[in-house]
Amino acid sequence: MASVVLRGSLGVPLNRLVRPTIMSVSQQLRQQSQSRQISSSLPSYLVTPKQLNEALESSNSSTPPSSRIIPLCAAWFMPNDPEGRKGIDVFRKHRIPHARFFDLDEVKDPDSPYPHMLPTCETFAEAMSNIGIRRDDTVVVYDTEELGIFSAPRVGWTLRVFGHPKVHVLNNYRLWVREGYPTETGEPAPVEKTEYPIPTFQSKLVVPFLEMKEIAKDYVNKGEEEIEILDARSAGRWAGTDPEPRPGLSSGHIPGSKSLPFQELLDPETKTYLSKPELEKVFQEHEVDPSKTIISSCGTGVTATIIETALAEAGFGDAINHRVYDGSWTEWAQRVKESDNLIKKSV
């Protein structure tokens, strides 16, 4: 029989309730500055396998038990994955002991035609309850061994958008496996549900479509603005020379945006984040101005958060000014009109 691990697969549909409560700007700024709270047992937002393993061992052996540390698997693959891989299958195959599973294809806005749009506060709380996470838990999000760093930053960012106090991202599970830290396999056991409180939505972290459209229109009409837009998609998709993976979707880019493929921020072999000096060098080479508000975008809002996390890791600019366009290119290309002149191609 397979070894047992706690699981929250969210196998039942999540009900959509009301839209999130929006905070005042002053509240947003205060909580934004606290949105990367660090656990006393983990030294930074990005943690190494060694740091996580030591923290887990310390937490498990302490008397009385210290605050729980929950590994959270964010495994996710593109819908056109050539091997047809699914995150939940990878989670069942091998995972960090006692990990939970966060399903990006389930924990979203079910009424949106665009993939992975942020859920309501109520839906998020229900999801966290279903996977047995409490608000005082330290959560360490991790990716698949195959991809290294891919969707974990999105889940980490999502938890911060909904104000979870202690969130970290493992850098990364590929190294966790290579360095011989524990894993387990098989069908996980059910997890005991919790009562996760309804959170407050931190809108300062998120750029909605209408705001993004006004920013782009200002760029078209006035030229360079005090905002940087970084696009994590491939250079060909940004330029409009390569097709989008979703059929029928135009490629190209938002006016004023710069191409910064997320792979440039990762080690080509281990797929871990580059070092702080290396990350800073990448941003400098792309002429990113750290004094400006920096908005990250991509295809569906997943790899944009790789940039957002890298900016924080490099200490590049003020974290208060780092934001993510949630709908990203999939929403943009379907909502702007041809007459708006807001899809650019470098051909």
Determine the angle formed by the axes of helices 276-285 and 304-314, rounding to 10 degrees: 120
Could you tell me which residues are beta bridge partners of residue 3?
A: none
Q: Which of 212, 298, 312, 324 is catalytic?
A: 298
Over its C-alpha atoms, the chain yields an Rg (Å, rounded) of 20
Q: How far apart are CA 153 and CA 116, in angstroms?
A: 13
Q: How far apart are CA 328 and CA 335, in angstroms?
A: 11
Is residue 73 flagged as an active site residue?
A: no
Q: How far apart are CA 139 and CA 70, in angstroms?
A: 5
Backbone conformation region of residue 53, classed left if phi is above 0, alpha if psi is from -120 to 50, else beta: alpha
**DSSP H helices in the chain:** 25-33, 49-61, 87-93, 121-130, 152-161, 173-178, 209-222, 235-239, 276-285, 304-314, 328-335
Could you tell me which residues are beta bridge partners of residue 296?
A: 230, 324
Q: How far apart are CA 99 and CA 137, in angstroms?
A: 13
Cα 189 to Cα 98, 138, 195, 211, 236, distances in angstroms: 10, 21, 19, 44, 44
Query: Angle at Cα 174 formed by Cα 118 and Cα 160, nearest 5°?
Result: 25
Residue 329 makes CB contacts below 8 A (sequence gap 6+) with 231, 233, 237, 244, 249, 253, 254, 297, 298, 299, 300
Q: Which residues are catalytic?
A: 298
